[in-house]
Amino acid sequence: MVAGMADSIDRLYHAVVAARGRDPATSRTARLLRSGRGKMAKKLVEEAIEVVIDVFDDNPDAVIKESADLVYNLVALWVSAGVEPHQVWGEMARRERLFGIAEKLPKPASKPRAKPVAKEITGPAAPRRKIAALASRQLRKRR
């Protein structure tokens, strides 16, 4: 199954690369790639938020669909950044050899952490802000 998934992502990667030269008026992928990394990163974050929301809504079907959107947008961002799937698979294999398949790479202890810009925003008593992605998602689902 894992090899099949890697094959699927490899095929998706090559399809995204091929879409770079297509007309953005007819290709959603070409339009996404031409929108720039900032827009692409924003789209990736929006999809990740949608996955999290659907997990908390206990909606596995939506989690599956939004996860596929998340993978698509991640692969498009890889293409924009010049990252190829085999490079990610190589890093995953390296981590598995060092730490096991289910472990995340530990952060170095000597690396200084970035300080929050504003403590009142990051503190536990900070007021919660409505996430803009929620409103756009609700509009999309009503259509």
- Report whether 57 contacts 50 (CB < 8 A): no
CATH superfamily, domain at 2-108: MazG-like (1.10.287.1080)
Alpha helices in 20-131 (DSSP H): 28-34, 37-56, 60-81, 85-99, 119-122
First to last CA, the chain: 35
Token pair of 118 as six digits:
């504003």
What gap in Å lies between CA 131 and CA 133, rounded to an integer? 5
Mean pLDDT of 19-36: 95
pLDDT bin (cut points 50, 70, 90) of residue 105 is low
Domain ranges of the chain: 2-108
Share of the chain above pLDDT 70, in %: 71
What gap in Å lies between CA 143 and CA 55, rounded to an integer? 22
Cβ atoms within 10 Å of 103's Cβ, excluding its own: 10
Summarize pLDDT for 87-99 with one digit per residue, the tens: 999 999 998 888 8
Summarize pLDDT for 124-139 with one digit per residue, the tens: 444 444 444 444 455 4
